[in-house]
Structure 1
Amino acid sequence: MRKLIFVLAIAGFGLSSCGGDENTVAPPPPAPPGGGPVIASIDLITDNPQIPSDGGIPAAITAFVKDADNNFVEGVDVSFAADSGGIVVTEPTTSATGTAAATLSTAGDPTNRIITVTATAGEVSQTLSVFVTGSQLTITGPDSLVQGDDATYTIVLVDGGGQGIPGVTVDVTSRDGNVLEASTLTTDATGQAQVQLTATQGGDDVITATGLDLSASRTITVSDDNFAFKSPGENAEIDLGAVQVLTVEWLKDGVPQANEVVTFSTTRGEFVGLAGPPQITTNAAGEASISVSADNAGPAIVSAVADGGPTTQLPIEFVATVPASLELQASPFTIAPGNQSTLTAIVRDPDNNRVKNARVQFSLQDVTGGTLSVGAADTDSQGRAQTFYTASDTVSGNQGVTVTA
C-alpha cells in the first residue's frame, strides 16, 4: 500500500501574548528525499549462532528495520551478504513488523570459521557473526617406539556430523626429525590418511598434522632399547588354523630385561593357549612368546607393549590355502576388434575366504586369433589371478571366444 505524506510548511510569525512577549515557531526538519520512511537502525539476529560444519543445520537470519523512534518500518528492501558460506534471501522486503529474512548455510565448506553476515537497508547496515564448528583432526598410533622401529600413524579428519572429509591436504611434521615417509598426505574417501614413521631420534618427540585450518599433535617416546619381534619375520604368511609362535626380545644396553611384563594385541585372529589376558613375562633372555591363530584370511598387525617401556609392531598375514571354488570375471565383457579385456579369477576356500598363492591356469578357445597375456598366474592376498585377453582384428560370433580358468 502506498502512503502519501503531506508536509505543511508553516512560515514563522509573531504571536502576541497577553504579556506582550513574542515567540518564534521553528520549521520541522525536512523529510527525506522522495518522502520515504527514515531508517535509523537495523537489529540483526539468528536462531542458530553456531552451525555444524557438515552443513546439516542452517541458520535463519532476521533483520528488524526501525526508525528513530524504534517503530518498525514496513516496505523497505533489505539486502543480505555473507563473507563465506551461502545465503538465500527468503523475505527481501520488510513486513508490517519490520522484518526481512534470509537463511545461511556452510555451502559445502567444512572449515571451522566465523561467517560475517551483513544486512543493509538504505544507508544503514548491521553485521552478525555465525560460527561454523565441529570439524576435527586427530592422530592415532603408538605412543612409544624403539629406535630403529617403524610405526604407522593414522590421521583422521571429520566434519561436524562425524563424517570423513575426503580430498584434504594434510601436512605432517616430526619436531625432532624422526623420519616420515611423506610430509604431505591427502585424506581418502573416509577422511583418513596414513604415514609411516621410522624412529631415529631418541627421547620425546611431537608428531603434528595440520589441514583444513586444524592442527593435531601426538607426543611419542623413542627409546634406545632394543625391543623388537625376533620371530617370525615381517609379513610372514600363516595358514588359517595353524598356530604361530611370536617372540619379542627386549634388551637395554645389550642386557636382557628379565621379569618384565609384555602385553600383546592383534587386529586379526586370536591368541591361543592362554589362561588369562595376553600378557607374558620375559624370561632370562629378555624374551616373551605368545601363540596366535586365525580362521579368517587377511593382514594383521600384532603389537607388543612393555609395561612402562617401549612398543613394537609386527605385520603378518593369515592366508587361506584350500581352494574350493573359482569365479571368472571379464571386464569389459564385450570388446571391439583390437581391444583388450581383463580376466580375473577369484579363488575361495570352503568358508568363502579368498585363497592366496593358488595357481590358476587360463586357456583360450578363439578362432579369430585373439591372445592371452599369460597362461597361468598365482592368486594375490585378495584371491585374485589375472590375465588380459587382446582381440584380433576379426569380429567373432556371439560368445565366440571362450576363456577357461
Structure 2
Amino acid sequence: MLNKKAFAVTKTGDIKMSGKFLARASALSLAFILAACGGDDNSTPLAGGQNQQGDNGSPGSGDNTNGGVDTDGDGTADTTIGSLRISASPVQMGTSNTSASEILVFARDADNILAENIPVKFSVDSDATLQVARSTTDETGTAKALLSTRQNPKNRPATVKATVGGIEASITVNITGTTLALDGPTNISVGSSGTYTATLLDSEGNGVPLEIISIDSPLPNITTLNTDDEGEASFALEPSAAGTYPVEILAFSGESVLSASLEISVSDSNFQFTSPGPGSEVPIDSASNLTFAWSENNLGVSNEPITISLTRGLIDNSLSYQANTDANGEIATTISSDSAGPATIVARSETSGLETSMIFEFVAITPDSLVVQASQTQVKPQEQSKITAVVRDANNNLVKGQRVQFNIQQGYGELSTPDAITSSLGRASTVFTAGNSGSGAEQTIITATLASDNTIQDQALLTVTDGALRLSIGTGNTLAEENSATYLKEWVVFVSDANGQPVENAEVELTVLPSRYFKGFWQPGICGTGTEPNCWVANETASCPAEDVNRNGKLDSGEDVNASGELEPTNEAVAVANSSASTEDGSYGFALKYPQSACRWTEVTVQAKVNVPGGSEYSETATTTLSCLASDLSNLDVTPPAINGGSRYGQSTSCLDAD
C-alpha cells in the first residue's frame, strides 16, 4: 500500500514520488553507498576512516522513552525514532582556539528512513564547547554541531552526546597537542647561576599564558611560576655543591598533566665573571674592564674557547665575542655602551657545556640638563605637591647617582627634604607643603639645582590659592560594564563657596591624563579567606612614571625613556559628561570610560577646573588606578581582560625597556 504522503497520483494516472520523500530516499541511498564503500578522503562516512561514530545506546531519561517525537507541535508523538548515530570529523583535534571537530547526528525512523524535522539535544563534557549549527534534522536526517576547546588548552578526551526522544548516542573526541618543554644548561659549576625556561605550547605552537608551572628539584628554587604571553616561565638555579641533580616541571593535573625534566651536572669548577661584580654600575661612553676566570681544583683551565654575549652594549667593540682562556684560565677584555640601563652577560663553554650569567647596569655619569615637574601646580594652603627633578646627559640618557638640591626661592611653605639622589630613572624628589596663606598666580618658586654644577638647574612655578571657591572631586566603589570591551566609572565634582554652600552653574573643565603605568601579568591567587587559588591577581613587575613629562601630548626630546618610539602610557581613559556646569546642589557628574584591558595597569590623574569672573582659576585633582570589575577576576576558568595576558606595556622588571 502506498504512503499517501510519500507518493501522489497525477491526472494522467502516473504515480510521482514527493520531493521530501525523494530527498530522504536519496540521502538514505547515499548513506548506504558510503557505508559500503567507506567514502572518499573528503567524506564523513558512517563507519571507518579517520572519523568515528557511535550507535544509539539504551533509552535515556527523556520524556519519550520509546523514541517518540512530536514534530508538528501538537503535543502528540507522531514520529518514532528507530536509530540514532553520531560521527565526528576529525576524532582527534588540536588544543588551539582554532581547532574544531564537526559533529553530525543521523536520525532514522522505525522504517530506517532518515527523519526530518527532528529536534536533537547536544551536550559535551570536559570543559569543551559545542556550537550547534543545526539543532533540528534537515531533509538528509542530520543535525550538526561544531566542537571546540576555546580557552582550555589541556589534553583530554571529550564526550559528545546527542539525545532524541529518549534515545541517546555518544562519541569521544580526543583533544590533544599541548606540549611542555624545559630548556637550560645541563652543565654548570658550583656557585654559578643557570637560567631555565619552561615552555607551554598548544597544538599550533602558540604560547599558553597564565598557567601554573610547578618545579620539583633538590636544588633550592621557587616551587611555582606562571607562564607569560609566550607560554614561557623562567627561573634560576644556583647549586652550592657538586653532583647530579634532576629538575622536573609539571603543568596541569589529573589526566591532563604534562611534565618535562632535565638532569643537571654540577661540577666543582670555578666558572664565573670576576670583574665587574653582579649588580655593579658600569659607566657608559667608555670602555670598562671585563674579566672571566675558569679553574678546577684551584688550577686555571687554559686554552679553552669561551663565547661571551651581552644584552646591551658591546664586548671588545663587537656584538659577539669569543676567546680562549690564557694560562691562568682567564679572559680579559672590555665592555662598553652608549645607552644607560640594565644588562645581562653570559659566558658559555661549548666543549664542557658549562654556562654562567650575571646582571649589572650601565649608568650615565655626566649630567647635562635638569627638568623640574610638580605633581600639582595649584594647591591650597597646607596642601602638598611632589617636586621631581629629572637629570639627563647630553645624549638624553638618564643620569643615576646625582645629588639634586631643592630650595624655595619665593613663597611660603616647606620642603620635606633639601636634597635627594637620582635613581636609575634619573629622578630625585621632594614634597612641598604650602603655607597658611595664598600667593599670586605662579608666585611660589621652587628651584632644583645640581650639587655638582650649580649652572644646571630648573624651576617649578606653583600657585597657592586662597579664593572663595572650593572644589571636591571623588568617586564611589561601583564599576559598570558598558559593553564587553568598556568599563564606566562614575565620578562627581562638588563646587562650593568659602562657607561650604553649593555653587550652581559653575562651568567645570575636565582633564584626564596618565600619570603612571605598570608592567606585569595576571596570575591565579587567593582572595578572601580561601586557602587555594580562587581569583586572578596582578603580578606587578614594574611601576613606571608617565613619560610625557611636560604633559603636552607630544613625544619631546628625552621623554622616550623606554626607547619604544612612543609616549607611555597612552591616554587610556576619557571623561564623559552630560553637561558643562554644576547643578543646584553644586554637583557636576561625569564618568571615566576606558577599555577593560587597561584596568589595573594604568594610573590617571583627573583634574577639574572652574574659572570665575576676574580671571581666577580653581582646580582639584585626584589620582586613581583604573579599576577592574570584581566578577571579571573571580573565575579562574575565564582569562581576565588584558593585552597579552597582562599589561599592554610589557612584563619586564625595568622601566627602561619596552618589554
TM-score over 0.5 for the alignment? yes
How many residue pairs match? The answer is 373
2:329 pairs with 1:286: yes
Aligned twin of 1:76:
118
Kindly indicate whether the alpha-carbon contact (under 8 Å) linking 2:82 and 2:111 is maintained by their aligned counterparts in 1.
no
**TM-score (normalizing by structure 2):** 0.49
2:196 pairs with 1:196: no
In 2: Cα distance, 1:335 partner to 1:163 partner:
52
Correspondent of 1:90 among 133, 144, 165: 133
SS at match of 1:39: strand
How far apart are residue 237 of structure 1 and its match? 1.4
2:312 pairs with 1:268: yes
Q: Which moved more, 1:333-342 or 1:75-84?
A: 333-342
Q: Encode CA deviations 1:325-353: one digit per residue, 9 max, x unaligned.
A: 44555668888998876655443333333
Aligned twin of 1:145:
188
The amino acid of 2:393's aligned partner reads D
- Change in 2 beyond 3 A, CA 1:333/1:94: farther
Aligned twin of 1:125:
168
In structure 2, runs of 5+ residues without a counterpart are 6-65, 69-75, 449-659
- Change in 2 beyond 3 A, CA 1:109/1:4: farther
Correspondent of 2:156 among 113, 119, 127: 113
In 1: Cα distance, 2:123 partner to 2:441 partner:
63
Using the aligned pairs only, state the percent identity. Answer: 36
The amino acid of 1:109's aligned partner reads N
How far apart are residue 223 of structure 1 and its match? 0.8
In structure 1, runs of 5+ residues without a counterpart are 6-29
- Change in 2 beyond 3 A, CA 1:261/1:101: same
- Change in 2 beyond 3 A, CA 1:326/1:109: farther
SS at match of 1:116: strand
Map 1:28-107 onto structure 2 (within 5 A).
34-46=77-89, 49-53=92-96, 55-67=97-109, 70-83=112-125, 84-107=127-150
Q: Encode CA deviations 1:360-386: one digit per residue, 9 max, x unaligned.
A: 3445689685x6544433232233334
Q: Encode CA deviations 1:84-141: one digit per residue, 9 max, x unaligned.
A: 1222323221111112222333242233333222112123222233444454434343
In 2: Cα distance, 1:192 partner to 1:335 partner:
47
Q: Encode CA deviations 1:205-258: one digit per residue, 9 max, x unaligned.
A: 332222233323233221111222222221221111221222222221222222
Aligned twin of 1:247:
291
Kindly indicate whether the alpha-carbon contact (under 8 Å) linking 1:44 and 1:126 is maintained by their aligned counterparts in 2.
no
Kindly indicate whether the alpha-carbon contact (under 8 Å) linking 1:243 and 1:291 is maintained by their aligned counterparts in 2.
yes
How far apart are residue 71 of structure 1 and its match? 2.5
How far apart are residue 82 of structure 1 and its match? 1.3
Aligned twin of 1:21:
none
Q: Which moved more, 1:36-45 or 1:329-338?
A: 329-338
2:266 pairs with 1:225: no
SS at match of 2:77: helix
The amino acid of 1:178's aligned partner reads L
- Change in 2 beyond 3 A, CA 1:238/1:57: same
The amino acid of 2:236's aligned partner reads Q
- Change in 2 beyond 3 A, CA 1:318/1:46: same
In 2: Cα distance, 1:165 partner to 1:332 partner:
43
Kindly indicate whether the alpha-carbon contact (under 8 Å) linking 2:87 and 2:104 is maintained by their aligned counterparts in 1.
yes
Kindly indicate whether the alpha-carbon contact (under 8 Å) linking 1:341 and 1:389 is maintained by their aligned counterparts in 2.
yes
In 2: Cα distance, 1:103 partner to 1:179 partner:
47
Aligned twin of 2:355:
311
SS at match of 1:318: strand
- Change in 2 beyond 3 A, CA 1:41/1:232: same
Kindly indicate whether the alpha-carbon contact (under 8 Å) linking 2:245 and 2:265 is maintained by their aligned counterparts in 1.
yes
In 2: Cα distance, 1:259 partner to 1:373 partner:
59
In 2: Cα distance, 1:342 partner to 1:127 partner:
67
SS at match of 2:81: coil
In 2: Cα distance, 1:389 partner to 1:363 partner:
10
Aligned-residue Cα RMSD (Å) equals 3.7
Q: Encode CA deviations 1:181-202: one digit per residue, 9 max, x unaligned.
A: x112233455443322111342
Aligned twin of 2:639:
none
In 1: Cα distance, 2:208 partner to 2:317 partner:
43
The amino acid of 1:71's aligned partner reads I
Kindly indicate whether the alpha-carbon contact (under 8 Å) linking 2:310 and 2:345 is maintained by their aligned counterparts in 1.
yes
SS at match of 2:82: coil
In 2: Cα distance, 1:173 partner to 1:352 partner:
46
In 2: Cα distance, 1:267 partner to 1:31 partner:
70
Higher relative contact order (CA 8 A, sep 6+): 1
Aligned twin of 1:185:
225
In 2: Cα distance, 1:250 partner to 1:229 partner:
9
Kindly indicate whether the alpha-carbon contact (under 8 Å) linking 1:346 and 1:384 is maintained by their aligned counterparts in 2.
yes
In 1: Cα distance, 2:419 partner to 2:358 partner:
32
How far apart are residue 400 of structure 1 and its match? 8.3
**TM-score (normalizing by structure 1):** 0.77
- Change in 2 beyond 3 A, CA 1:236/1:72: same
